[in-house]
Structure 1
């Protein structure tokens, strides 16, 4: 019963996210009439008003556009405007594309370039995970690790958040392994390294753009979060702190064979491998940079006019929030954060108007998810074939959760 309620809650959150996106979108092409626009009845607008475009092409010389006025301005009435007045200076009529127009006008060469960039992610993610596995004496080989990385990517589209595939990945990494705790914690630290690097990317880029007030504020928050994570990690791995907060006492009460104790021991194994953890974070930086560049290309393909620097600060934060298991693929959550950070920013190209619209932001994040889905679908091939665990040759081994004394001495 509890599992059914949990599934219903996840479904409700996913539907709520989709509803939020659908409500945010502008489905039809619209024009924004500025203050002072003369209406058919001779009155003038006291405030800017959005009206639906029903005919004509904005900006075309010698043409006129026809718009549908809302009921409060004249039920059923239309008005005609000079098409050349649309999209000019800030005092002119502004054009906002609907969903169909936004996608139809996309520069698909940039979209394809984004797909190719994201293609580097599985290889870099595999290298990161192998680094952590090998630091604990586990080496399944590049082929098996790469295969399970793609499987995890596939299952990311079957569970809440953008990291649900880690559960499946951890299961098959531990299955048949003689050291299940170490295998599972390699997946956990793999995810931690990824999250640390995506925040670090935003912080590093932000340091180059401190003259921008918005970026400066975000950069400060990012580095404060990084500081908090470092302090937490130092405390967790500190013997004195662990005694002070009672972690060691709790372990003694639970016993050596408890699940929590074995997981904790596997995590502590990385205390003697700081180089592997740091290396995993460093390997993640180019992976996340490629993903953010691909998403930025998707935004530019849809007409977003924001600088690469601003996008490389904001997008990592958007993806970081999306990785939390709140809604399916972060639907609604990622969009809400992106709206809060990107809407209202001026265009980087110096043109009048905002640098991004709601439709463009939604389309950019949608394409970003589709990029990942392309490679996630490759993982479905291995799901259908079966035999996904890393260590089939070790199924008869005892479940020894900690490295042997000989292994530790060899290190």
Structure 2
């Protein structure tokens, strides 16, 4: 097997055992990129020579961290000191930050080799879309705004990559590209050095191709209790299947994935119950939008003042508060979110984890429509950790996933549950097939 097809956890084990070098892995990823990325267009910046040199340097030292020697992609709205950070914006071409974002620094200091910058929706917010295409079908979107990161991991061009989520920009691309994604608890990973859209919502996460990959990165970020919990017995788990108040937006492929996941869990001996959320939760989608757009006013005001007509109309509209969002509306949205956070966590007395859709269905056709975040927005606003798991394919053969959700700062237990639930839910990914 070419090293680029190894999961991050598999590659890390081989590097630890002296069976693989970082340079060999990086060269394999670069060869894959050269073969595939002219069509997929996942990367905005790639310095092959620098990546190989960094890998050689890593190979000179004993394993010093959980990400030792592993290639990592960085969404191009997250700062890197040695590469441009353009935000996929015409007004920031050639922008060179002087310092790595905090998350990039943690990855490097945990042994990762930063391979390059992946394409994104402009400022991870609006404006122009990424050039990236879905590697499973180039006529379709990989999702947004973490377009390049999702596609690069899905296409085996890199084993790990950072994404971000303000509405549904991390978990939705995981579903569309048939990969695993962790959106950690809000505030558990520093956002310093990442372009801000909404202070209340922005969350940095990461993609991999197994739950073990996600746990590897979580250990580098010192998420509370990661690696310290015992993997639960499958038959002791109680899973609450939640269609959410927005079930009317589900598509046949999304409904199939949700029902399949529930059926597979029941057949494996898991207790699956139905969860209907209380009535106030029906207002969370609108509340998330109000907060996102209201806080976006402050986030893009400086750029609107500096660049004027050169800045995309999307961001000038936010800065000018074209939606007319009032302080009273923002306060009401904040208060609803606080009320629902407490109410949601009180429900966990009756179950261990929530299972819910990750996206309405398959990735839409075209690049401009990056998909609907209706099955993500409420979870982002609730600040809870979300773990995206591949499940099946839809009628045109594109991936459709689900997600599991836990209370705030229960990321470690979510990952431990994911280790036993994913092999039951995901019968498409090779390492989880019974015959593999």
State the TM-score, normalizing by the size of structure 1. 0.24
Higher helix content, 1 or 2: 1
Report which structure shows greater RCO (CA 8 Å, sep ≥6).
Answer: 1
Larger Rg: 1
Higher strand content, 1 or 2: 2
